[in-house]
Amino acid sequence: MTLHFEALWEKAEQLHQSSINGETDASIAEELTFKIDLYRDIAKKEGIPEEEMHALQSRLMGEILLTLTKLSLKDNVDVYQALSVAMQYRSIDHYATKYST
């Protein structure tokens, strides 16, 4: 059975429900930074076959997203609204730059 992304996100947040009390925003941010740094370092590696590189990046992206679900749960962030607002602001900047005279 395939889950919609929203349902998957909520299920991932539920995964953290029992352990979130011992976490701080700073510790979650450190975990996220570590995983992003690892993603960057893997991308710099040479000699890794393309298929294996894609598998590594995909797995690590999942870990990054899972950490973001922990942060969204901890801070009770409506990620849909947050992403929507961020895209609106970015779109304004993008179009203003693209069509400036």
* Whether pLDDT at 101 is above 70: no
Quote the CA–CA distance of 73 and 25 in Å, as a whole number. Answer: 11
pLDDT digits (tens, 9 = 90+) for 34-68: 999 999 999 999 999 999 999 999 999 999 999 99
* Whether pLDDT at 33 is above 70: yes
> What's the predicted TM-score (pTM) here?
0.85
Sign of CA dihedral 16, 18, 21, 27: negative
In terms of Cα–Cα distance, which of 21, 9, 2 is closest to 65?
Answer: 9
pLDDT digits (tens, 9 = 90+) for 66-81: 999 999 999 999 999 9
